[in-house]
Structure 1
């Protein structure tokens, strides 16, 4: 078992310096840094000889074995079966592919239900498919006071003509964790398919696909220490019936039928090492138990950092925090009075070697409803297990310094 206090030594990117200062990464929601075991696994695959599938030679068979092990590893990570796991370019691409397949049977009498809090990938993939079929699109509204979904009219939104309900498990910009249970319950009553965007959830807390009882779940490995890959997890019965668009000679069985073209084998070959790395921070009798235990350790660490940063920002008069009173990930969205978000981030990078991002982060409907789209959107500080209290203090001090400098120049 690796102690979380030792985690930084496993990330070579943390040795980067800029302007004589160590870089502090707060851009994890856009993509975390990559763990050394993952890098080693990618190099090993490429060094030993890669190959395409279905060959009668060693490198081809080894590639197939790598994919099998990767499916099992991701299945252990999210509480699924390996046959329910498919890989792709990224979650967005997989969403579009699944949407195209699901929408084959939609009509103008049907509807789909989405959410106003979501990343556009979990919106536009389904909207574009609905437009092709003249299918009605409905939205679960976001409550701008609590920054969570308002499910008070769920029974009216989700009805007997609803084909799918797509929501995020956690907001990638404000961190709000969605209680999907009542949404799943209502969807089950009318026979609708439930789709969950867990891209921002999986990096921060243990997810159990079967306990959630959703039909489809998406995540991306580059959000939690891995390479740029998307993952679709689909219940076996649905996956079997899914009429995907594919090349005629390509496999017609799942999960392979969703994986169009040659996959990124070198990245897939690293996923077992990625999951083993996460599991190494926990205890248990098997890998799944270790993973769940590891997330408890990660959550405890991130909570300390999250509270430290939120508490300090809340005491700065010029800062407006956008946060739900309910459960949330350690992802802090804020704005600073009279300071453009882009300018703030530029100063953070150039003066203080702190990497922090700004914008709408593809949560455009949320930004519109909050009236900040034309103002540059949010500043987002995303925390990861490799962040430290010292880095939090650097961010707080730098924020205060930038605000003071702006006041002096006015």
Structure 2
């Protein structure tokens, strides 16, 4: 496959400074079209949503455009798209609403592979409701979370299972469709943290079997915010706390206060950018069809390109005797976690930063998986790839790691 990464890189103003960015899992760089959409919305005629003045209608159009765009990105119903401050905030809000329906003896299942944003909110609301928390383990050697690991924790009292679509720490991608089948088989709901997955794969919520799917646009070139997708019918059954005059309509009942219209416009812009990414990169199969079709074609092309860079890095790392690679699952994102036998990962982080290479070291809020893997308190060095990384970035990274370990 031909992927014109130079054309892709030209869309990102920050890349002109020469930094090699391997920190996308914590937040990607942003293309000019997204920044322009945010700017243009802020300086346009805008007000609280309504249908009387032009300013009110502008705000209303921004909201509807965002819902339609995210529905196309995720394969969802626009009426089930909820906008929030972050994935963490949305999970706490939905968790508190769901917990109103739980009783002592009910069970909530969380995973030791997950970012804490898909663990701690459920632990807190379950404990407040008197529900029992059960834990899905994963294999620390293979770093696989298998369907059997989930099935072991299910019962007729299971009300919800929370699991990641892809680990932000080590990239592992569990088989969500197979997990969903087991979860739904006991009558429970599946809540999927798709923050890391949505940056690296085309998403089809129905095919994945997710009842709730949450993601963060700033992980895939957009502004800092969160988005939740669910069936409108499911959302109708939940009653979050809200102000008395606030609408009870879905999805608005979950969105507190005046919405940040500029961030919503930026979210729409990034979905349009992703839909256009394949064309920008010169991928023949990514130029036609509606927005949804172009999104999926672009994501397939980006995934193939990123995976080739990942394999190149992994092949080179095999020759580093003092490096341990903790990302080992068969199906995973282009995200590599390293530790060193005789050196601190924090020292590696700072050493690379001096070379203008951004590859941070931490546990990245993946508290449970870091403990399960036996990582030191300082965590691991994480190398995350994005479609704007190129071979020269990889050359610099490998050269920097060679110097650091010499």
**TM class by smaller structure:** over 0.9
Report the equivalent of 1:161.
157
Report the equivalent of 1:363.
366
Return the match for 1:332 from 322, 336, 341: 336
- On the 8 A contact 1:26/1:354 being kept in 2, the answer is yes
Post-superposition Cα deviations, 1:36-70, rounded to whole Å, max 9, x if no partner, equal 10001011111213322236311121011011011
Return the match for 2:400 from 393, 398, 401: 398
| SS of match in other structure, 1:380 | strand
Runs (4+) off by over 4 Å? none
- Report matched runs for 1:245-394 at 5 Å: 245-280=241-276, 281=278, 282-350=286-354, 352-374=355-377, 376-394=378-396
- On the 8 A contact 1:117/1:148 being kept in 2, the answer is no
- On the 8 A contact 1:203/1:224 being kept in 2, the answer is yes
Return the match for 1:237 from 233, 236, 240: 233
- On the 8 A contact 2:146/2:174 being kept in 1, the answer is no
- On the 8 A contact 2:177/2:207 being kept in 1, the answer is no
Please, what is the CA RMSD of the aligned residues? Answer: 1.3
- Could you tell me how far 1:4 is from its partner in structure 2? 4.4
- Could you tell me how far 1:284 is from its partner in structure 2? 2.9
Cα distance in 2 for partners of 1:233, 1:3 equals 32
Cα distance in 2 for partners of 1:240, 1:336 equals 50
Q: Count the aligned residue pairs.
A: 396
| SS of match in other structure, 2:202 | coil
- On the 8 A contact 1:198/1:219 being kept in 2, the answer is yes
Report the equivalent of 1:29.
25
Report the equivalent of 1:13.
14
Cα distance in 1 for partners of 2:211, 2:146 equals 22
Unmatched 5+ stretches in structure 2:
279-285
| SS of match in other structure, 2:293 | helix
- On the 8 A contact 2:107/2:133 being kept in 1, the answer is yes
TM-score if structure 2 supplies the norm length? 0.95
Report the equivalent of 2:105.
109
TM-score if structure 1 supplies the norm length? 0.94
- Report matched runs for 1:77-226 at 5 Å: 77-152=73-148, 154-226=150-222
- Could you tell me how far 1:216 is from its partner in structure 2? 0.2
- Could you tell me how far 1:3 is from its partner in structure 2? 4.8
Cα distance in 1 for partners of 2:51, 2:192 equals 36
